[in-house]
Structure 1
Amino acid sequence: MGRIIFDTATTINGWIADEQNSLAWLFAVDGGTTPDDEVLPTNAGVLVEGSTTYEWVLAESDILNHPEKWHDFHGDRPTFVFTNRDLPVPDGADVTFLRGNVADALPQLRAAAGEKDIWVVGGGDLAGQFVDAGALDEIAVSIAPVLLTGGAPLLPRRVESDRLRLVSAKAVGQFARVVYAVTPPSA
């Protein structure tokens, strides 16, 4: 069974999107549009997104009109989107919409991933729901040299240091890359 990882980019002050849910700040950083291969999850068999992230991805690259762009990021991997709304699906994309809580969806996500990892792409609240379910194994963050005044927080949960163990910290281009292992909450 693979791991469940939250791998994302953030500003120095902890925002993963600005007040308009945009990542333009990230793409303005050298290396922000084409991340170094060493920072992308290599064993991800399944991607998981919240509806805001999913809709932003569709709009940013005009994917509904250019469905071939879906594969630039998602490849052929199944993508699961947590939402309470009916959303469009790009032609040829393997997208499943999930309603309800993360804990109930875990068996379906794990079955789809097989022995590979589950990559929680975003957003922060969705990653927090994996934390709440005691299912998140790793948090990997690429910290960009950007400060914003507000937006979507990295992970809007309180997680104490006794549950986080530093795995690595290094410079990758303009980014500081930190990876933490997450342990389940004590019973």
Structure 2
Amino acid sequence: MPQVIADISVSLDGFVAGPEDSSGRHPLGIGGERLHRWLFELATWRTRAGRGGGERGAGADIMGEYFTRTGAAVIGRRMFDHGEKAWGGEPPFRVPVFVVTHRPLPPRPMPGGTHFEFVTGGVAEAARRATAAAAARGKDVAVMGGGQVITAALAAGVLDELRLHIVPVLLGGGRPLFAEPLDPAITLETTRVELSSGVTHLFHRVPKQEGRHRCSPTR
């Protein structure tokens, strides 16, 4: 059964994007690019992008495993709108990507293996469809953000794991990871902590609770 894993970089003051984020001038908000520099310097990322070199170690191993295990992804419409131009004609996902949105669009196959599907039924529906796609590949589902989608997935009880990469920067504002209140009955269990290049990688298992059911590819 595929695992549904949320993975996102967060500033020390709890933001996943800086102030004034927009799909034009500041896709990641002012200063938001600092949250992802560690990732772009990893050998596993650079290899994926067709470049050589880069940092090795715990961070590279963590993300290399994550890329290998991902058979489908879930993202929000804001992330899609902000990233579409930056990703160019060959987005880096290389798997089916289910975009949670209120504005339907036709499916969009892209060079390199990425196939965007736009889901208007909410994050649970997107996770269900992604789970079916990942199961066909024998892999897992990556919920990549932004924060609103990860919050909704956690609230809906569809996450098996939450991975936070805590970057030692202060953005002073922007988009917080958890902008909406969550049920305090939701529990997380820390299963792993790693440090690489100043970034703290925190792995949390999300125990399933009564009334909360994971997605099944047959449902």
Q: Please report the TM-score for the alignment, with normalisation by the length of structure 1.
A: 0.83
CA contact (8 A) 1:7 1:120 kept: yes
Alignment match, 2:207 = 183
Alignment match, 1:163 = 187
CA contact (8 A) 2:101 2:122 kept: no
Alignment match, 1:31 = 38
Q: Deviations over 1:132-174 (max 9, x none)?
A: 2211111101111111121111133435486110111121112
CA contact (8 A) 1:26 1:33 kept: no
Does residue 116 of structure 2 align to residue 99 of structure 1?
no
Q: Deviations over 1:89-132 (max 9, x none)?
A: 47434110100222334432211110311100001111122112
Deviation of residue 31 (structure 1)?
2.1
Secondary structure class of the residue paired with 1:121? strand
Note closer, same or farther for the CA distance 1:86–1:99 as it changes in structure 2 (3 Å cut). Answer: closer
Higher relative contact order (CA 8 A, sep 6+): 1
**Structure 1: how far apart are the matches of 2:84 and 2:109?**
8
Deviation of residue 186 (structure 1)?
4.2
Q: Following superposition of structure 1 onto structure 2, how do residues 1-187 of structure 1 map, counting pairs within 5 Å?
A: 1-21=1-21, 22-23=27-28, 25=31, 27-28=33-34, 31-35=38-42, 36-40=59-63, 41=66, 42-61=68-87, 63=88, 67-68=89-90, 70=91, 73-75=92-94, 77-86=95-104, 89=108, 91-92=110-111, 93-114=114-135, 115-156=138-179, 157-158=181-182, 160=184, 163-187=187-211
CA contact (8 A) 1:27 1:33 kept: no
**Structure 2: how far apart are the matches of 1:164 and 1:78?**
28
Q: Deviations over 1:9-66 (max 9, x none)?
A: 01001100112334373544652423443232131100111011111211334x1xxx
Q: Which runs of 5+ in 2 are unaligned?
A: 22-26, 43-58, 212-219
CA contact (8 A) 1:4 1:119 kept: yes
Percent identity (aligned)? 27
CA contact (8 A) 1:26 1:144 kept: no
Q: Please report the TM-score for the alignment, with normalisation by the length of structure 2.
A: 0.72
